[in-house]
Structure 1
Amino acid sequence: MISIRTIVSETGEVKNHNQKYPYRLNFYSIPPIEEITTEEFEVFALDRLQVLKAIESASLRSRTELQVADHIRDISNQYLPLHSTDGGKNYPLEQERRKDHISHFILRLAYCRTEELRKWFIKQECALFRIRFIEENKEERQAFLNNERLNWNDLSQNEKESMKNELSHANPHIKFNDETFFIVDFEQVLDLVSRRAVYIKAGKAYVPTSEQVTLVVGEFRKRLSAALNLASRAFPSIDDERILPLLNNINQQYLGKTYVYNNNTIVDKVTADNVDQMVGHFPLCMQHMHIKLRELHHLKHFARMQYGLFLKGIGLTVEEALIFWRKSFSSITDEKFQKEYAYNIRHSYGMEGKRQDYSPLNCNSIIMNKQPGPGDQHGCPFKHFSEDNLKVFLTQTGVKKDEHLKAILDIVKGKHYQVACTKYFEITKCLEDSISRGDDERHLMETIKHPNNYFEQSVKLSKINNSQNSK
């Protein structure tokens, strides 16, 4: 068992508190104090990370606030459900809120270590809090805020009337007579200031109730930032070897499905002769290696491993793999192929050596591990190609519009390579335009985390389209 009390004690954050959770919303001012299993510790952390990563991905893909909220609701229901008190009678509210509470503090520890990690965590947590705050009903929101005793000063009715022209001009969209206003330091609502959506006088901002979410999120951000700075100073004192590896490496953790070879794949049958017909369903990395294999009749070791395990994952048997690679390496003799390549192919299927059945590489492994050198074809094009080479390859493989090309390259410049791959999928599979129009608002795809997941999603989409066209 892992004592959450001990861990948060070491980061200087322990207070006495009631374990009950009266509200869905939470400023996470009071840490959890209980024991949880090692398994719970890891599962809670990774499930919350799924939600935060989904927020980042949807935002980077230029989705509207409504699209992001709908997508995050779907992801949250899968990994981190958190129902409102109103209408949540049929759900285990206490367990949901406990998991939300504990998982936040675990990730707070994991993301307190550097300025870059702290900024990322604050941004995603603020976005999640904002979505939850907007979705909560008015009575629950107000009860939560009253409990937090935020002590915002209300603008009196007389002051409101005397400033009617200024307030109405700054907030033309509001129903003035129905609004109340809060008076706060303008630094608390810089988002509203940047949008010129609030009246400012003598360093004070006059915030209408309709913009209350900005004020509340600002308070959430301020408290979380202070807590992360406190945790970062105390983090070195944590010495529990059961959790340190997770805390130190969670930002690079693979969160997707593990793919293994099986005969029940999404396609009927994969053979040496029909791989060429399936390339349109391959992610960019696999397309690149396949093209180079056909062009050079050879691939170096790491490319053979990366591409070979991918083909294994989509259903290519070891017998068909031997035929595929033998035909592809057409410039060498049978003797040379058997001597230098056949053993490694059988080895990757667990039929030689220590008989380990290797799984296809996920995106994190491809991006973070062996970097390609001169003459190498393995790796991730979004990470390892030059901008000019990536532009050319994207254009050759289906990205025709300049605005689409720019959108992908902008994501790549931010080093969000898996998000760029997801954007590429949406564009080349003709999802981007329908999403932009709002046709698929509630069906944004999850971020691509694995080449075999890309293949799987592409084949599924093709089957759906074919079924609809046949009607």
Structure 2
Amino acid sequence: MLRQQTSTLIREYGTGEVKRNNKRYPHYLNFYDIPPMDNISIEEFEKFALDRLQVLKALEAATLRNKPENEVKEHLQELSKQYLPMHSNDSERVYPLDEERRKDHVSHFILRLAYCRSEELRSWFLKYEYILFKLRYLTVSTKERQEFLNHQNLTWKILSRSDKDMMKADLQAASPHVVVDTETFFEVEFEKVLDMVARRSVHLRGGTAYVPISDQVTLVMDEFKNRLAKALEITAKEFPKLDEDDRIMPILNNINRYYLGNSFANSTKVTGNITAFDVDRLVEHFPLCMRHLHRKLRDDKHLKHYGRMQYNLFLKGIGLPLEEALIFWRKSFSKFSDEQFQKNYAYNVRHNYGMEGKRVNYTPYKYVYPESKPAVKIHFAHFETNGSCSKIINNNQPGPEEHHGCPFRHFSEESLRVTLASVGVRNDAYIREIINLVRNKHYQVACTRYYEITRGGERGMMDTIEHPNHFFEQSYKLSIKQGDS
């Protein structure tokens, strides 16, 4: 288990001087070779995991949407301040470096446990931990980089002058961007720099790759990736042997499906309370899933159970009070008599608003554990309010004559093309871009791109749409800013 230590700032008696105490973690960078040995509370366990996941998810969103590296760096710095602060030894101000680095260390290993369980999860974790490490490496000073590398067990032998002279032509051909006479080269086992070998950017001879020191960044990145990939495989083999208590295993088993954003329990701060007659006017701000449900409701004068629940909780989230919701659904179900509506549908509307049954005030698409998997008693709000796109994408797949779900996940390509055209996305290049994202299973990124295209075409958002009500709020706020509503 994890053995907790505290205080990383020491105030010297009588001097008032605050000194850094980062003896446990002397370096800003970490290859995460040694597991933490701290005791850790369940509250820290869940918080550390979620905070790091916030950062990795943000890196995923930025990467999938081809954000420039400088924008990603800036975004990472802002996110890190909130979720995973990390400061270098050269920082001008005094920071609790050991506390910061402990959280970084422990949170990495928690997510390593959570993401070791399948090839897909391992690949995802490796990719975005690699990007996080690279951005940190490029941010820190050359001095700190070298101090860190000097403490690692790196088998990088420097090529002798005589050997360099002997293979000068080959070295120059493989690395035309360097001056061989003045460049230092490392001798590295080729397996450790497979990416460079694949790009033919290093001279290869007898199983040894010759890497110029100017490419040390690539060498370090490959070292990090290789170590973590191997560690994930080892962790995956050991994971079934874990005998942790039932407060931890649900987190490890489900963390990749957590929704990390706002519960959108009440969006009236954006719109104010709305009436049943406002809904048609606001449809232009709805995400594609809700526009589809609204159109089917208008066409068929009916929605099946999951469609009603998905749409009703969304409308509740944008500010439709219970009384207005009952009016909205009664008018929408116009082919049914008052008696049929009261008997078959009104109860469920009231139930979603917490006025029937157990009187739970549901957030937009509340998560409820199945009977076979009861929620453990940990203070973890994200189990309770998982109303995210992830839930809509993964739960309750729509069947015949059902219209709930996510169009980017559940529509055929042809149906999606037609639907996109019907809501104004007629540019072939834009449609191809969205379809390609869908083919690669980046459904939320596709939704985010749809938002950007229908609201100006520019890649203006850094964060990915994670919730239908997030889409609505962003669109509505933009329209107010532009003077359209």
2:252 to 231, 247, 253: 247
Q: Does 1:94 align with 2:98?
A: yes
Report 1:8-157 matches (<5 A): 20-87=24-91, 89-157=93-161
In structure 1, C-alpha distance between the alignment counterparts of 2:456 and 2:182, rounded to whole Å:
45
After TM superposition, give the deviation of residue 88 of structure 1 in Å. Answer: 5.5
- Pairing partner for 1:452 from 469, 472, 476: 469
TM-score by length of 1: 0.88
Q: Which whole-Å deviations, capped at 9, do the CAs of 1:144-170 have from their partners, x for residues lacking one? A: 000113131223445445555544443
Q: For residue 277 of structure 2, give the secondary structure of its aligned residue in structure 1.
A: coil
Specify the SS of the correspondent of 1:205: strand
Quote the Cα distance in structure 2 between the aligned partners of 1:209 and 1:71.
30
Q: In the alignment, is residue 377 of structure 1 matched against residue 403 of structure 2?
A: yes
Instruction: Name the CA shift for 1:47/1:178 in 2 (closer, same or farther; >3 Å).
Output: farther
CA distance in 2, matches of 1:108, 1:270: 45
Residue 429 of structure 2 corresponds to which residue in structure 1?
Answer: 403
The number of equivalent residue pairs is 445
Q: Which residue identity lines up with residue 107 of structure 2 in the other structure?
A: S
Asked whether the equivalents of residues 19 and 32 of structure 1 are also in contact (C-alpha less than 8 Å), the reply is no
- 1:32-91 per-residue CA deviation (whole Å, 9 max, x = no partner) reads 111111000011011111112222222222333333333333322321121222116333
Measured at CA, do residues 336 and 227 of structure 1 come closer, stay the same or move farther in structure 2, by a change above 3 Å? same
* Equivalent residue runs for 1:432-447 within 5 Å: 432=458, 435=459, 444-447=461-464
Once the two structures are superposed, residues 5-43 of structure 1 have per-residue CA deviations (whole angstroms, 9 ceiling, x without a partner) of 69xxxxxxxxxxx97111110011111111111000011
SS at match of 2:271: coil
Contact 1:153 1:182 in 2 (8 A): yes
Q: From 185, 200, 203, give the equivalent of 1:199.
A: 203
Q: Assess, with a 3 A threshold, how the Cα gap between structure 1 residues 214 and 118 changes in structure 2: closer, same or farther.
A: same
* Structure 1 equivalent of residue 17 of structure 2: none
Q: Which digits, 9 at most, give the CA deviation of each residue in 1:236-290, with x for residues without a partner? A: 222222211111111112212212136x421244221121121121111111101
Alpha-carbon distance change, 149 to 238 in structure 1, aligned in 2, over 3 angstroms: closer
What is the distance in 2 between the residues matched to 1:67 and 1:293?
42
Q: Describe the SS at the equivalent of 1:266.
A: helix
Residues in 1 aligned to 2:439 and 2:480: alpha-carbon distance in whole angstroms: 34
Query: What residue in structure 1 maps to residue 229 of structure 2?
Result: 225
CA contact (8 A) 1:265 1:314 kept: no
User: Does residue 363 in structure 1 map to residue 380 in structure 2?
Assistant: no
5+ residue gaps in structure 1? 7-17
CA distance in 2: counterparts of 1:210 and 1:405, whole angstroms: 42
- C-alpha separation in 2, matches of 1:40 and 1:431: 41
The amino acid that maps onto 1:421 is C
Distance 1:278 1:209 in 2: 59
Alignment TM-score, normalising by the size of structure 2: 0.85
CA distance in 1, matches of 2:83, 2:457: 25
1:211 is matched with: 215
TM-superposed deviation, 1:311: 0.5
Matched, 1:261 2:266: yes
Once superposed, what is the RMSD of the aligned Cα atoms? 2.4
Q: CA deviation at 1:369?
A: 1.6
Contact 2:159-2:184 within 8 A present in 1 as well: yes
Q: Between Structure 1 and Structure 2, which shows a larger proportion of helix residues?
A: 1
Pairing of 1:277-426 with structure 2 (within 5 A):
277-361=281-365, 362-426=388-452
8 Å Cα contact 2:117/2:239 also seen in 1: yes
